[in-house]
Chains A and B, each alone.
Chain A
Amino acid sequence: MKEQIFEIIKAAIDELNEELEYEELEQVTPDTPIFGGDSGIDSLSLVRLVVEVEAGVSEAFDAEVTLADEKAMSSRNSPYRSVATFTDFVLARVEGQHS
């Protein structure tokens, strides 16, 4: 499932990057930074990415998950730091749905 979620996130970033054309987002790996520091995307793009991934997850797993809420925002470590942290976060949310 983790692999599949990674692919969903990768596809969403690829789509977003068709517009942004950021060099560092051309080859998406788990280490690719998403939000924070000087690399990565801005807030509007982050919102769009989250929405796309929510839609992707809903289609793939038939699970309605929310990937941006107060809980995600208040955790000490942002889930949006990198593709790897976001993948883990989505996985936890999807598993939470099914359990």
Chain B
Amino acid sequence: MVFRGQTTSYAELHALVEAQRGFLAARGVAAGSVVALRGDFSPQTIALLLALFEHRAVVALIPTGSADVAGLCEQVAADVLIEVRDETAVCVPRGPGGPYHPLVDGLRDQGGAGFVVFSSGSSGRPKPVLHSLDRFLQKYQAGGKPFVTLSFLLLDHIAGIDTLFYILYSGGVLVAPEARSTGAVCRLIESAKVQVLPVSPSFVNLLWLSVDYERHDLSSVEIVTCGSEPMTPGVLDHLAMMFPRAVVKQKYGTSEFGSPASRSRGDDQRWIRMEAEGFETKVVDGILYVKSQTTMLGYLDDGDPVVVDGWFNTGDRVEQDGPWLRILGRDSELINVGGEKVFPSEVEAVIEQVAQVAECFVYGESNPIIGSMVCAAVRPVGESDLKALKKKIKQRCGAQLSRYKVPAKITFSTRPLTNERQKKVRRPVSS
């Protein structure tokens, strides 16, 4: 593993895992605990994660950018929160955890380890998605080609977890970025001779705009995988210009079942075929259903089970051509900001806390830089100073929401927003 210019060998990683095991024992973290973990790809975070898995813990991966860590810990009834900052782990007990969700209890009764990632819930409240580690790991057992891979996607995303396990099981090299700016990523690709680059379409756009690809030698890249947002022809063109030697693979995945092996159709890479072992798809009324051995155990909430007879409804609209599928995106009000999902209701709730706001309506507008941007239409109370109000709304959102959820555009209207809402809702944003 390469991090901050230092290389950590597998033997050294093993020693770090031992040390982290001692750390867990010293902090009194019992086997089978529910542990909230917050940290980005680094030797210590990965060692800690592996030590926790060995300890048969259920690890909730807290998004590093989350504005509500306490709330997420509460949702999973975590016993303890461990944060890794600057390669030092800090353990914060959260009192006796539990009672756990029945699914967590079931997993613990079997002595199984698990992990939780947070998916954007339909109300805007993140949904904890519980996976059984043993089930999820099955697909990696066969190993694969050992590549030098840059872990661009975050550890708290299912795609980041996927990157980690693929590398560990294939004995590959993980190159962990400290920053994800285009310049930093390009420098790392050049210095570590990165072969596999998993990115999002938005990052491809940014890389193109930054022109950083011209300042560095990126010729080591053999495979670019692209996921989390629908692919556009523009993105494919940019990739072909910047990585002429690389094979481009579109990936499709969700927090609920990970991302299966897939291949892209030669004539149009937006069409993909997923044909992993133990992975089936079906399309009902244009919506994609998936049956997979890597499917989650379930959501840790009170809602109804969404997996029926093993089939999980992805909610994604697809086009079908024989075995080939083209993902069109979510048929909902959900706004996809560079791969991060935003539910309007969540942002509306924050804006409506501002005293001078009578009513507001949040929607997505397509934006070529980041896919979609968050916009808010606001009806102020009486005669307000709009400039000051706009600032206040942005400040309030900035304090309470992750950055990508803060509206980029705020417009004001003196008329009720009901019409606006209907118009926008009938024409959902293609994310």
Chain A interfacial positions (CB closer than 8 Å to B): 19, 35-38, 42-44, 46-48, 50-51, 68-70, 72-74, 77-78, 80-81
Nearest chain B residue, comparing its CB with the CB of A36: B210
**Given known A35-B210, A36-B210, A80-B209, contact A47–B184 (CB-CB < 8 A):** no
Query: Which residues of the other chain, A, contact B202 by a CB distance below 8 angstroms?
Result: 43
**Given known A38-B184, A44-B404, A47-B408, contact A78–B368 (CB-CB < 8 A):** no
A/B pair count, beta carbons within 8 Å:
64
The answer to the question of B63 belonging to the interface, with a C-beta cut-off of 8 Å to chain A, is no
**Given known A19-B398, A38-B183, A44-B404, contact A78–B211 (CB-CB < 8 A):** yes
The answer to the question of B370 belonging to the interface, with a C-beta cut-off of 8 Å to chain A, is yes
Contact at B369–A68, with CB atoms within 8 Å? yes
CA distance A19 to B395 in the complex (A): 9
- Could you tell me the distance in whole angstroms from the C-beta of B209 to the nearest C-beta in chain A? 4
Contact at B184–A72, with CB atoms within 8 Å? no
Contact at A81–B211, with CB atoms within 8 Å? yes
Contact at A73–B370, with CB atoms within 8 Å? no
CA distance A50 to B375 in the complex (A): 13
Contact at B181–A38, with CB atoms within 8 Å? yes
**Given known A51-B408, A81-B211, contact A46–B182 (CB-CB < 8 A):** no
5 closest cross-chain pairs (CB), A and B: A36-B210, A78-B209, A38-B183, A51-B409, A48-B408
Q: List 9 A-B contacts (CB under 8 A).
A: A35-B210, A38-B183, A43-B338, A44-B403, A47-B367, A47-B369, A47-B408, A73-B368, A78-B211
Query: Which residues of the other chain, B, contact A77 by a CB distance below 8 angstroms?
Result: 211
The answer to the question of B237 belonging to the interface, with a C-beta cut-off of 8 Å to chain A, is yes
- Could you tell me the distance in whole angstroms from the C-beta of A15 to the nearest C-beta in chain B? 8
Nearest chain B residue, comparing its CB with the CB of A79: B209
What 18 additional pairs, Cβ within 8 angstroms, besides A70-B234, A73-B205? A19-B398, A35-B209, A36-B183, A36-B211, A37-B210, A38-B181, A38-B183, A43-B206, A43-B369, A44-B403, A46-B369, A47-B367, A47-B373, A47-B408, A68-B367, A73-B209, A73-B234, A78-B210
